[in-house]
Amino acid sequence: MLRIAVILACLAVPVFAEDKGKAPPLPDGITVRTASKKASRPCVLLIRVDTSEALAALARKVGLGVVKSDNVEFREEFGIDRGTAWIVVLDGKGETLASAAAGEKPEEQIPVFLKRKESLQSLERGWTKDAKNLKTRDEYLARLEEAGVWAKAMPILDAIAADAAVPQAQREDARVRSFLVRRPSRVSAAEYRDTWAEAVKVGEAIAVELPGSPRAKEVIAKLHALICCAFDIMPKLVACNDRMAVAAKALGHNPPVLPVEFLSKQRILVKADQDGVTTQESEFDKAVTAAQLGQPDPVIAFFGQPPHDKDAQFQWWVEEAKKKAGK
């Protein structure tokens, strides 16, 4: 699971099995969405969430359906990363009451989401109309963070962090929250690479300068996961720790340290596979492991082919792999 989770730009999001729940099956989510909007009724859409008796019972009370995980248009609309279990709840107007990672008991999350009185879009309109309304702003921000809408959340949080009139604790909190919602751009391999590097730089600075933050552990986890989105991650993890050690020493702080021990497990899996031992990994899993370990040939062979050759992150991996291989 770790190898899949670390390639995601949003991190610490649960990864569940494919939408093949054992029983009972749920309706097609896109069909449910269309029918619910026509009837002006709320609906619940699930992606990569296992079906259950509890969800089936809930489906008898509210429009609830499953969206196939290969529905790229739906994932892009709600900013859902590959491999993540997600819940989308829409009101009768088709606006977003919730767009959030699915927990272990989605049947308990959904009723809470359905009780919300304001959609994300409604909160945005309220804040846009009255930017001085801090209550609305904070509610809007919380909903953006829940949904992982980093492109809208970051500018607001950055403005709070830069406002000298805001108390220091709030500015520091906004700075941390801005980093935690940050993701690399997937427009192109070059943009992914550049925005990834900028995110790592920001994360390192926060980890070093705000070691006492209540969310310091989250910062380290996010920074670690960001680096694990790259090709050949061991030298990048070591370099990150070295940079933070130098910066922390200059400030008189104890240096934060990113964990690197899980890579030994990756090597064990690769060695077992080479020795003919079944590791029950898919070809995709093996290619991700090869990328993390900096093995050029498997990465070029797998991610250089459709459909992966259209993905910005995988294109970057292939570029890095070719450089390492001298191709």
Query: Residue 294: pLDDT above 70?
Result: yes
Rounded distance, CA 80 to CA 101, Å? 9
CATH number for the domain formed by residue range(s) 2-117: 3.40.30.10
Residue ranges matching CATH 3.40.30.10 in the chain: 2-117
Asked whether the beta carbons of 74 and 32 are under 8 A apart, the reply is: no
- pLDDT band of residue 111 (cuts 50, 70, 90) is very high
- Tens of pLDDT, residues 10-65: 333 333 334 444 557 899 999 999 999 999 999 999 999 988 999 999 999 999 99
Residue 89: its H or E element: strand 86-90
Looking at residue 21, what is its pLDDT? 44
Spell out the residues 6+ positions from residue 54 whose beta carbon is closer than 8 angstroms to its own: 105, 107
| CB count in 10 Å sphere of residue 275 | 7
Rounded average pLDDT over 103-113: 95
- What's the sign of the alpha-carbon dihedral 151, 157, 161, 164? positive
Spell out the residues 6+ positions from residue 6 whose beta carbon is closer than 8 angstroms to its own: 225, 228, 229, 292
Rounded distance, CA 76 to CA 99, Å? 12
> What percent of the chain shows pLDDT beyond 70?
86
Rounded distance, CA 218 to CA 181, Å? 11
What single string gives the DSSP state of each residue in 131-187? TT-HHHHHHHHHHHHHHT-HHHHHHHHHHHHH-TTS-HHHHHHHHHHHHHT-----S
DSSP 227: H
Looking at residue 277, what is its pLDDT? 43
DSSP 85: -
Looking at residue 261, what is its pLDDT? 64
Looking at residue 272, what is its pLDDT? 46
Query: Residue 319: pLDDT above 60?
Result: yes
Rounded distance, CA 293 to CA 152, Å? 34
- pLDDT band of residue 6 (cuts 50, 70, 90) is very low
Question: Across all residues in the chain, what is the average pLDDT?
Answer: 87
Rounded distance, CA 158 to CA 57, Å? 43
Rounded average pLDDT over 276-305: 83
